[in-house]
Amino acid sequence: MSHHEQHRAHRVGWLRAGVLGANDGIVSTSSLIIGVAAAGATQGDIMLAGIAGLFAGAMSMAAGEYVSVSSQADTEAADLEIERRSLKANYEFEVAELAEIYESRGLESALAREVAVQLMEHDALGAHARDEIGISEIIAAQPTQAAFSSAGSFFVGASLPLLVAWAVPGPRLISLVAVSSLVFLAVLGTLAARAGGAPILIGAARVTFWGAIAMTVTASIGRLLGLDG
């Protein structure tokens, strides 16, 4: 009988960037719309601010993710180069070092060395990258993927409260944008938790809570600094 386990570690890169982008898109745009509306702005000004926030935020998320993940990739590349030089200069030391790692995980000394030797004969750098440094193909930094995922998800997330604000102008705008955005955040948290294998209620609650805080703060500031005052 075959047995197959479905792991989720390979989703870490795009899931983190996607959830972060969508969450920021919903929270920042809804908060911006609510803050501007609370200050007494016209419908046109509210939409202009929201659209500007959408494009500025998407580009900011893309640039920020690309720079951040590129820095991680640079660090990984530097560590791999150090390991590559060490393998050339002192191969036997690296064998012993890898064997020591396996021994600390529970293998007998002789078996740990045999495993280290065989793995290094197959792919010495890969074995040390994975078991000494902690770099694998699954979690390796991918700047372009992170940038596009973050920017795209921000754009989608920001579009949701913007569409609500466009569809429902007038005195109900603030309350409907706030309520719909909290619903969007709850759905996002649920989907992210399901994709990542985390508890759904916790995932939904934490993004909704912080979204509510952000909207409350910006609404208060908007009223305090209103166009008439």
pLDDT band at residue 3 under the 50/70/90 scheme: very low
> In the predicted model, is pLDDT for residue 178 greater than 90?
yes
- Local confidence band at 141 (pLDDT 50, 70, 90 cut-offs): low
Q: Which residues have C-beta within 8 Å of that of residue 170, sequence separation ≥ 6?
A: 43
CA distances from 204 to 63, 157, 211 (A): 27, 15, 11
List phi, psi (to 5°) of 227: -60, -25
User: What is the pLDDT, as a whole number, of residue 156?
Assistant: 93
pLDDT at 58 exceeding the cut of 80: yes
Contact assessment for residue 28 and residue 52, using Cβ atoms and an 8 Å cutoff: no
Pick the range with the lowest mean pLDDT from 90-104, 131-145, 155-169, 205-219: 131-145
Element (DSSP H or E) covering residue 209:
helix 200-224
* More reliable by pLDDT, 87 or 7: 87
Instruction: Answer yes or no: are the C-beta atoms of 70 and 145 closer than 8 Å.
Output: no
pLDDT at residue 119 greater than cutoff 90: no
Structure tokens at 201: 């209620």
**Average pLDDT score, the chain:** 84
d(CA 21, CA 220): 25
CA angle 13, 18, 23 (to 5 degrees): 135
Q: What pLDDT, on a 0 to 100 scale, did the predictor assign at position 20? A: 77
Residue 173 has a pLDDT of 93
- Residue with more model confidence, 50 or 139: 50
Between 153 and 19, the higher pLDDT residue: 153
The C-alpha atoms of residue 126 and residue 140 are separated, in whole angstroms, by 12
What pLDDT score does 48 carry?
95
Whether 12 shows a pLDDT value over 70: the answer reads no
**H-helix or E-strand spanning residue 215:** helix 200-224
Report the pLDDT averaged over residues 176-185. 93
Question: How does 98-131 read in b/e, with b if 16+ C-beta sit within 10 Å?
Answer: bbebbbeeebeeeebbebbeebbeeebbebbbeb
Query: Which ranges constitute the DSSP H helices of 39-172?
Result: 43-89, 91-104, 109-128, 143-167
